[in-house]
Chains A and B, each alone.
Chain A
Amino acid sequence: MEVIMSNKTILGIYSDDELLVKGARQLRDKGVKIKNVFSPFPIHGIDALLGIPRTRLAICSFIYGVAGCSLAILMMWYMMIYDWPSDVGGKPNFALYMNLPSFIPITFECTVLCAAHLMVLTFLLRSKLLPGVTAPIPDVRCTDDRFVIQVSATEANQNDIISILKQTGASEIK
């Protein structure tokens, strides 16, 4: 009969972020897969330890910025040049390039507006953080003063993992 490997999740709860980084490093060196880390504040260098790839949010923001910029120029071209040209301050609106300096502030604002807002929305959608969603945290104390490491273990290596967590100073193991 085939043995079904039962995967279970071990939680190591630390009271100090330095200790957690030490534990995470030792676990990674053993080849154990760390599922996630929960911490009340960002820990410097933890994303590299967990093997999280670099964010692609910057590329999104560039695309949104370009879109916002084009949208603003299109809008002003339609309003001020095409649909209802008017003479403001002795500067008749004949062509877009001639009046461009006065359109720049709005273009800038619109670029920033689109880039910033759409980036926040993208971030929320990608990390599934919409309003009304319950936060998937394993232990509520990780929003206060505890640092939690979540490790997926098999029957074979769970004792190893527990001993590493103990050695590096986890105050509680679940």
Chain B
Amino acid sequence: MVLMAIGLAAITYGFTTNPHRMWANLLVDNFYFMAISLCGTFFVAANYLAQAGWSAVIKRVPEAMGQFLPFAGVFMIIIFFAGGHDLYHWTHKELYNPASPEYDKIIEGKSGWLNMPFYSFRLFLYFSVWVLLTFMLRRESMQEDLDGGLKHYNRSMVLSAIFIVFFAVSSSTSAWDFLMSVDTHWFSTLFGWYTFAGLFVTGLTAIALIIIYLKNNNYLQQVNENHLHDMAKYMFAFSVFWAYLWFDQFMLIWYANFPEEVAYFYARWNDGYKILFIGNFLINFICPFLILMTRDAKRKMRVLQVAGTIILFGHWIDVFLMVMPGTMGKDWGIGIIEIGTFLGFAGLFIWVVLRALSKAPLVAQKHPFLQESYHHHI
């Protein structure tokens, strides 16, 4: 609540002093927490589809994270319709008028995808399907606590399959829409995957940190170090995966050196982002790689907390770097607005997740794989 108040104060302060910077910040933080929350539902769905047993005991945590999605959806719609002109260059009408001095042939070529009606349709479609499937999965899970049996499990499998197929497409297209269209001229075919990798590792880290928080407060005692070990393996593996995609995207563009592609990295290298740009890679790849390498490190809560905090911080910088050069250019900064907005969103996210966790038993009571999960041993 305190965090939310700080956030609200920072947002008011931001809008009165520098609305342009405020909108960019709202996009960064909203996308960041939307990604964490979306990863919650993705994690639940992926585990259903794989018929995973070990994760049954921690299932309520990603499920609760998904409950933030409607908030993220509302914010994203507000950001687009109220702040769109500040963030998305392509929303300006004069770009498409050949008579205007602002006429832009490249952007006109993209107008088949980036136009107001289609974009609005996609915006509503993403969030309605994501939120609907998240809620349906949650309801099946709640009903399962009462009824037991395999009926709800099988239904959840079907819902998960629908979600995964939709997510496979929408995770890429939504990354183009929300983030890549900020740099309207630029394009990268890897961008969707790259964003997804960041989304996944941030979400996994958030799941691990929430579990550790609950364990430290004497909840969720059924989770043992074997479950944590698996979460840590996920964090380690997907940090490496993220680094792989980051480097893929960077190296191909750096090597080919086409002006229209290199412009993206040129802005990040020369407009004062150099430290963040290099730091982004070091924090998100080297740190988790070295910290989480050994088996013992993966099984200790303290180490996981340190590594998790580093990863969460690093991926906020990653999203920051995707948005800021395209919106703020050289006039960026990290100050009251940035920190305050982040704290505000973090407060809202934590409040929503903890409320969702407290509404239901912390362990899915009649999940068919629950016994297997209790005896998870690696």
Residues of A within 8 A of B (CB): 44-45, 54, 58, 62, 89-90, 101-102, 104-105
Contact = CB atoms under 8 A, between A and B. Distances in A.
B365 to A, nearest CB: 27
Interface residues on B, range: 10 to 19
Interface string B287-324: 00000011100000000000000000000000000000
Interface of B: 247, 250-251, 254-255, 257, 293-295, 377
A127 to B, nearest CB: 21
A104 B257 contact: no
A54 B378 CA distance: 13
A102 B251 contact: yes
Contacts of B255: 89, 101-102
Nearest to B294: A58
Given A89-B257, A104-B247, A62 B293 contact: yes
A102 B377 CA distance: 42
Main secondary structure of the interface of A (DSSP, over half): helix
Contacts of A105: 251
B250 A101 contact: yes
Contacts of B377: 44-45
A80 to B, nearest CB: 14
Given A45-B377, A58-B295, A90 B257 contact: yes
Contact of B251 (A45, A54, A58, A104): A104
19 contacts: A44-B377, A45-B377, A54-B295, A58-B294, A58-B295, A62-B293, A89-B255, A89-B257, A90-B257, A101-B247, A101-B250, A101-B251, A101-B254, A101-B255, A102-B251, A102-B255, A104-B247, A104-B251, A105-B251
Contacts of A104: 247, 251
Contacts of A89: 255, 257
A101 B249 CA distance: 11
Nearest to A45: B377
A44 B378 CA distance: 9
Contacts, number: 19
A91 B247 CA distance: 18
A58 B254 CA distance: 35
A77 to B, nearest CB: 18
A68 to B, nearest CB: 16
A123 B243 CA distance: 30
A73 B365 CA distance: 54
A102 to B, nearest CB: 6
Nearest to A44: B377
Contacts of B250: 101
A101 B255 CA distance: 8
A105 B252 CA distance: 12
Contacts of A44: 377
A153 B377 CA distance: 32
A89 B295 CA distance: 43
A45 B377 CA distance: 9
Contacts of B294: 58
6 A-B pairs with least C-beta separation: A101-B251, A101-B254, A102-B255, A104-B247, A89-B255, A90-B257
Contacts of B257: 89-90
Contacts of A58: 294-295
Contacts of B247: 101, 104
Nearest to A54: B295
Nearest to A62: B293
Nearest to B251: A101
A98 to B, nearest CB: 11
A86 B295 CA distance: 44
Given A44-B377, A45-B377, A89-B255, 12 more contacts: A54-B295, A58-B294, A58-B295, A62-B293, A90-B257, A101-B247, A101-B250, A101-B254, A102-B251, A102-B255, A104-B247, A104-B251
Nearest to B377: A45
Contacts of B295: 54, 58
- Chain B CB count within 10 A is highest, among A44, A54, A101, A102, for A101
A58 B255 CA distance: 35
Contacts of B254: 101
Contacts of A62: 293
A90 B256 CA distance: 10
Nearest to B293: A62
